[in-house]
Amino acid sequence: MVGNTYYMTRREPKSITEKLKAAIADAIENGESYKSLERETGVLRQSLMKFMKGETSLRLDIADKLADYFELSLQNKRET
């Protein structure tokens, strides 16, 4: 179809898991290695790789380390 352009945009990650995976994927795409992520966060690269493949989930303490490294935080959507 000449003249028609279609754009695909990345949807905003919703869950904590999606946000962590997006942050790790962005780091890898920007040249950071799993080995350097391991060195910087203390999270084993094998754990990171299995998490990214969907083979395993992360314990909360590990998710906390990654969230700190990537400067991610939870936001309360409820109005109090």
Cα separation, 64 vs 68, whole angstroms: 6
Per-residue model confidence as pLDDT tens digits over 14-44: 889 999 999 999 999 999 999 999 999 999 9
Task: Give the pTM.
Answer: 0.78
Confidence band of 7 (pLDDT split at 50, 70, 90): low
Cα separation, 62 vs 3, whole angstroms: 48
Q: How many domains would you assign to the chain?
A: 1
> Does the residue 11 lie in any domain?
no
> Does the residue 9 lie in any domain?
no
> Does the residue 27 lie in any domain?
yes
> Does the residue 76 lie in any domain?
no
> Residue 16 in contact with residue 44, Cβ under 8 Å?
no
- Report, as an integer, the average pLDDT of 2-12: 55
> Exposed, middle or buried: residue 73 (CB in 10 Å: 0-12, 13-18, 19+)?
exposed
> Rounded mean pLDDT of the chain?
87
CA-angle at 11, arms to 59 and 5, nearest 5°: 150
